[in-house]
Amino acid sequence: MESVFLHIECPDDKQTRFATGVLEKGALTWWVKEKSTRGAEAAMALSWNELKDLMTRQFYPPNELMNLEAEFWNLKQEGGVHTAYTTRFNELSVLVPHLVTPTSRAIDKYIRGLPREIQDSVLSSSPKELGDAINLAATLTDNHVKAGTLTMKGLKKNADKSPS
Protein backbone atom coordinates (compact mmCIF):
# COMPACT_ATOMS: atom_id res chain seq x y z
CA MET A 1 0.00 0.00 0.00
CA GLU A 2 2.78 2.41 0.91
CA SER A 3 4.46 1.91 -2.46
CA VAL A 4 1.14 2.77 -4.12
CA PHE A 5 0.94 5.92 -2.00
CA LEU A 6 4.37 6.92 -3.27
CA HIS A 7 3.57 6.01 -6.86
CA ILE A 8 0.37 8.04 -7.02
CA GLU A 9 1.75 10.79 -4.75
CA CYS A 10 -1.11 10.31 -2.33
CA PRO A 11 -1.17 13.12 0.26
CA ASP A 12 -0.97 12.02 3.89
CA ASP A 13 -4.48 13.24 4.66
CA LYS A 14 -5.96 11.03 1.88
CA GLN A 15 -4.09 7.78 2.60
CA THR A 16 -6.70 6.30 4.94
CA ARG A 17 -9.49 7.14 2.50
CA PHE A 18 -7.56 5.54 -0.38
CA ALA A 19 -6.49 2.45 1.59
CA THR A 20 -9.95 1.71 2.94
CA GLY A 21 -11.43 2.21 -0.52
CA VAL A 22 -9.66 -0.91 -1.79
CA LEU A 23 -10.49 -3.26 1.11
CA GLU A 24 -12.32 -6.46 0.24
CA LYS A 25 -14.08 -9.36 1.96
CA GLY A 26 -13.28 -9.73 5.68
CA ALA A 27 -11.19 -6.55 5.74
CA LEU A 28 -14.05 -4.55 4.24
CA THR A 29 -16.54 -6.01 6.72
CA TRP A 30 -14.16 -5.13 9.58
CA TRP A 31 -13.76 -1.55 8.27
CA VAL A 32 -17.54 -1.00 7.92
CA LYS A 33 -17.95 -2.09 11.55
CA GLU A 34 -15.01 0.10 12.64
CA LYS A 35 -16.58 3.15 10.91
CA SER A 36 -19.90 2.39 12.54
CA THR A 37 -18.31 2.08 15.98
CA ARG A 38 -16.08 5.17 15.73
CA GLY A 39 -18.29 7.25 13.51
CA ALA A 40 -17.45 7.79 9.86
CA GLU A 41 -15.76 11.16 10.37
CA ALA A 42 -13.54 9.92 13.23
CA ALA A 43 -12.65 6.75 11.34
CA MET A 44 -11.67 8.66 8.21
CA ALA A 45 -9.58 11.06 10.34
CA LEU A 46 -7.27 8.21 11.37
CA SER A 47 -3.76 8.55 9.99
CA TRP A 48 -2.39 5.79 7.80
CA ASN A 49 -0.11 4.65 10.65
CA GLU A 50 -3.05 4.48 13.06
CA LEU A 51 -5.10 2.51 10.53
CA LYS A 52 -2.17 0.19 9.84
CA ASP A 53 -1.78 -0.46 13.58
CA LEU A 54 -5.50 -1.22 13.90
CA MET A 55 -5.38 -3.62 10.96
CA THR A 56 -2.28 -5.33 12.33
CA ARG A 57 -3.96 -5.91 15.69
CA GLN A 58 -7.09 -7.18 13.96
CA PHE A 59 -5.56 -9.46 11.35
CA TYR A 60 -2.28 -10.40 13.02
CA PRO A 61 -3.12 -11.10 16.66
CA PRO A 62 -0.21 -11.73 19.06
CA ASN A 63 -0.24 -15.51 18.64
CA GLU A 64 -0.05 -15.16 14.85
CA LEU A 65 2.80 -12.66 15.11
CA MET A 66 4.62 -15.08 17.41
CA ASN A 67 4.21 -17.82 14.80
CA LEU A 68 5.57 -15.53 12.08
CA GLU A 69 8.51 -14.53 14.29
CA ALA A 70 9.31 -18.18 14.99
CA GLU A 71 9.09 -19.02 11.29
CA PHE A 72 11.39 -16.10 10.51
CA TRP A 73 14.03 -17.10 13.08
CA ASN A 74 13.97 -20.70 11.83
CA LEU A 75 13.99 -19.79 8.13
CA LYS A 76 16.83 -21.52 6.25
CA GLN A 77 17.76 -21.84 2.63
CA GLU A 78 17.36 -25.47 1.60
CA GLY A 79 20.28 -26.41 -0.63
CA GLY A 80 20.32 -24.52 -3.90
CA VAL A 81 16.80 -23.13 -3.63
CA HIS A 82 17.92 -19.53 -3.21
CA THR A 83 14.94 -17.75 -4.76
CA ALA A 84 12.39 -19.41 -2.47
CA TYR A 85 14.47 -18.55 0.61
CA THR A 86 14.92 -14.92 -0.44
CA THR A 87 11.24 -14.53 -1.34
CA ARG A 88 10.07 -15.86 2.02
CA PHE A 89 12.71 -13.80 3.85
CA ASN A 90 11.37 -10.65 2.16
CA GLU A 91 7.74 -11.57 2.89
CA LEU A 92 8.44 -12.17 6.56
CA SER A 93 10.54 -9.00 6.75
CA VAL A 94 7.43 -7.02 5.81
CA LEU A 95 5.25 -8.86 8.34
CA VAL A 96 7.70 -8.64 11.27
CA PRO A 97 9.77 -5.54 10.48
CA HIS A 98 11.04 -5.18 14.06
CA LEU A 99 13.16 -8.30 13.46
CA VAL A 100 15.05 -6.73 10.56
CA THR A 101 15.65 -3.25 11.91
CA PRO A 102 18.26 -1.84 11.59
CA THR A 103 19.60 -3.03 8.22
CA SER A 104 22.60 -4.69 9.85
CA ARG A 105 20.19 -6.99 11.71
CA ALA A 106 18.46 -7.94 8.44
CA ILE A 107 21.78 -8.71 6.80
CA ASP A 108 22.89 -10.82 9.76
CA LYS A 109 19.65 -12.82 9.81
CA TYR A 110 19.75 -13.33 6.05
CA ILE A 111 23.31 -14.65 6.14
CA ARG A 112 22.56 -16.97 9.11
CA GLY A 113 19.82 -18.61 7.04
CA LEU A 114 22.15 -19.47 4.17
CA PRO A 115 23.72 -22.93 3.77
CA ARG A 116 27.05 -23.32 5.55
CA GLU A 117 28.78 -23.56 2.15
CA ILE A 118 27.65 -19.98 1.40
CA GLN A 119 27.57 -18.25 4.81
CA ASP A 120 31.28 -17.65 5.38
CA SER A 121 31.87 -16.17 1.93
CA VAL A 122 28.95 -13.75 2.21
CA LEU A 123 29.86 -12.84 5.78
CA SER A 124 33.49 -12.17 4.89
CA SER A 125 32.41 -9.76 2.15
CA SER A 126 30.98 -7.50 4.91
CA PRO A 127 27.90 -6.42 2.94
CA LYS A 128 26.54 -3.01 3.93
CA GLU A 129 23.22 -3.47 2.12
CA LEU A 130 20.87 -6.45 2.15
CA GLY A 131 20.79 -6.45 -1.66
CA ASP A 132 24.56 -6.97 -1.74
CA ALA A 133 24.26 -10.03 0.51
CA ILE A 134 21.38 -11.40 -1.58
CA ASN A 135 23.21 -10.94 -4.88
CA LEU A 136 26.41 -12.54 -3.63
CA ALA A 137 24.49 -15.44 -2.07
CA ALA A 138 22.63 -16.01 -5.35
CA THR A 139 25.87 -16.13 -7.32
CA LEU A 140 27.55 -18.43 -4.82
CA THR A 141 24.50 -20.70 -4.65
CA ASP A 142 24.45 -21.00 -8.45
CA ASN A 143 28.16 -21.83 -8.43
CA HIS A 144 27.66 -24.53 -5.79
CA VAL A 145 24.73 -26.00 -7.70
CA LYS A 146 26.84 -26.13 -10.88
CA ALA A 147 29.73 -27.71 -8.94
CA GLY A 148 27.35 -30.27 -7.42
CA THR A 149 27.99 -29.31 -3.79
CA LEU A 150 24.37 -28.14 -3.49
CA THR A 151 21.36 -29.40 -5.41
CA MET A 152 18.00 -27.84 -6.05
CA LYS A 153 16.50 -30.47 -3.75
CA GLY A 154 18.76 -29.33 -0.93
CA LEU A 155 20.92 -32.43 -0.85
CA LYS A 156 24.53 -32.85 -1.83
CA LYS A 157 25.04 -35.31 -4.68
CA ASN A 158 27.14 -37.55 -2.43
CA ALA A 159 24.30 -37.69 0.10
CA ASP A 160 21.87 -38.81 -2.63
CA LYS A 161 23.69 -42.12 -3.05
CA SER A 162 22.44 -44.85 -0.79
CA PRO A 163 24.89 -47.40 0.60
CA SER A 164 25.21 -50.55 -1.49
Domain positions in the chain are 2-59, 63-147
pLDDT, the chain, mean: 91
In terms of C-beta distances under 8 Å and separation of at least 24 residues, what long-range contacts does 69-78 make, across chains too? 69/96, 69/99, 72/96, 72/99, 72/109, 73/99, 73/109, 75/113, 76/113, 76/114, 76/115, 77/113, 77/114, 77/115, 77/118, 77/137, 77/141, 78/154
- The answer, yes or no, to whether the previous bond of 127 is cis (omega within 30 of 0) is no
Check residue 61 and give its pLDDT. 86
Check residue 56 and give its pLDDT. 86
Check residue 128 and give its pLDDT. 96
Check residue 162 and give its pLDDT. 43
Check residue 155 and give its pLDDT. 46
CB atoms near residue 111 (< 10 Å): 21
Rounded to two decimals, the pTM is 0.72
Low-confidence ranges of the chain (pLDDT < 50): 154-164
